[in-house]
Amino acid sequence: MDVAFGGVFSMCNRLVRVFVCLCIVIGALHEGFIADAQANGRITFTGKIFHITQPGRSLDEEFADDTVPPGQWMLSGSWRMEIDPDFLAVTQWKHNMIMLRTVEGDNPLPKDMHGNATRNTHTVQLLFRDGKVRSLNFQTGFGRITGTMDTMKNGKQQFLGDDVEILLTGGRGFKGMTNLEIRFVTEQDTVTNFSTSEDTASEAQNAREHFGELILGMVQKITVAE
């Protein structure tokens, strides 16, 4: 009797282990989920953008372009994103920032038509659409949202239809995410530049080339609707 019971117990134990392993594998392969008991309402992220970059200079120099004027660019602004956990979609996105040129080394600032040094200061509005939540796991501190980004310069269309990934990272636990990455993943030869010949916009083919692949920022607040 004891031997039979021990055999049944051992078999049940093995079945439980197999079930747990399957759950882990399925969870690892599954895209489009939100993992946190508290995230049962609309989730809103708000934060700031602060990034220093240089158009035409990607992190791996894949898009290096010697024709880009000297000097880095400083990006500073704010962003807000609302996510619907039921539809795994971005329902609202707001962004606005200022972009201005800094001085790098001995390179002078470019000059305007009157010969005055200019930082070419302008505003940038990133319009995010078709946002889909691929992962938003507060337990591991990682979120990934994909979609399409349109870029406005001083309220005018500059780039249209760039593929992007928005990454949220940081500490574990609800409201632990602190970092924002807007990654432009458009293919190198894809042309999304929508600027007219009258504009003094970048000659980059797409926003990935223009911004140098990514824009960094921070998450300041995470709230969940009741």
Total domains in the fold of the chain: 2
What whole-number distance in Å separates Cα of residue 195 and Cα of residue 176? Answer: 39
What whole-number distance in Å separates Cα of residue 102 and Cα of residue 108? Answer: 10
In this predicted structure, what is the pLDDT of residue 101?
78
Q: pLDDT tens per residue, the chain (226 residues)?
A: 454 545 545 655 665 554 444 443 334 334 555 666 455 689 999 999 999 876 545 444 444 444 444 457 889 999 999 999 889 999 999 999 999 877 655 566 667 777 776 677 889 999 999 999 999 998 888 999 999 999 999 999 999 999 999 999 998 877 789 999 999 999 988 999 987 554 544 578 899 988 888 899 999 999 988 7
Tell whether 3 and 102 lie within a shared domain.
no
Query: pTM, whole model, 2 decimals?
Result: 0.74
Handedness of CA 153, 155, 156, 159 (dihedral sign): positive
Tell whether 117 and 54 lie within a shared domain.
yes
Tell whether 121 and 19 lie within a shared domain.
no
Tell whether 132 and 77 lie within a shared domain.
yes
Tell whether 79 and 152 lie within a shared domain.
yes
What whole-number distance in Å separates Cα of residue 154 and Cα of residue 125? Answer: 8
Chain position carrying tokens 């956990």: 85
Tell whether 19 and 125 lie within a shared domain.
no
Tell whether 56 and 80 lie within a shared domain.
yes
Tell whether 76 and 183 lie within a shared domain.
yes
Tell whether 13 and 55 lie within a shared domain.
no
Alpha-carbon Rg for the chain, nearest whole angstrom, is 23
What whole-number distance in Å separates Cα of residue 148 and Cα of residue 103? Answer: 32
DSSP state of 76: E
Tell whether 117 and 152 lie within a shared domain.
yes
Beta bridge partners of 80: 46, 94
Tell whether 55 and 20 lie within a shared domain.
no
Where b means 16+ CB within 10 Å and e means fewer, 178-206 reads eebbbbbebeeeeebbbbeeeeebbebbb
Tell whether 1 and 74 lie within a shared domain.
no
The domain of 173 spans 31-224
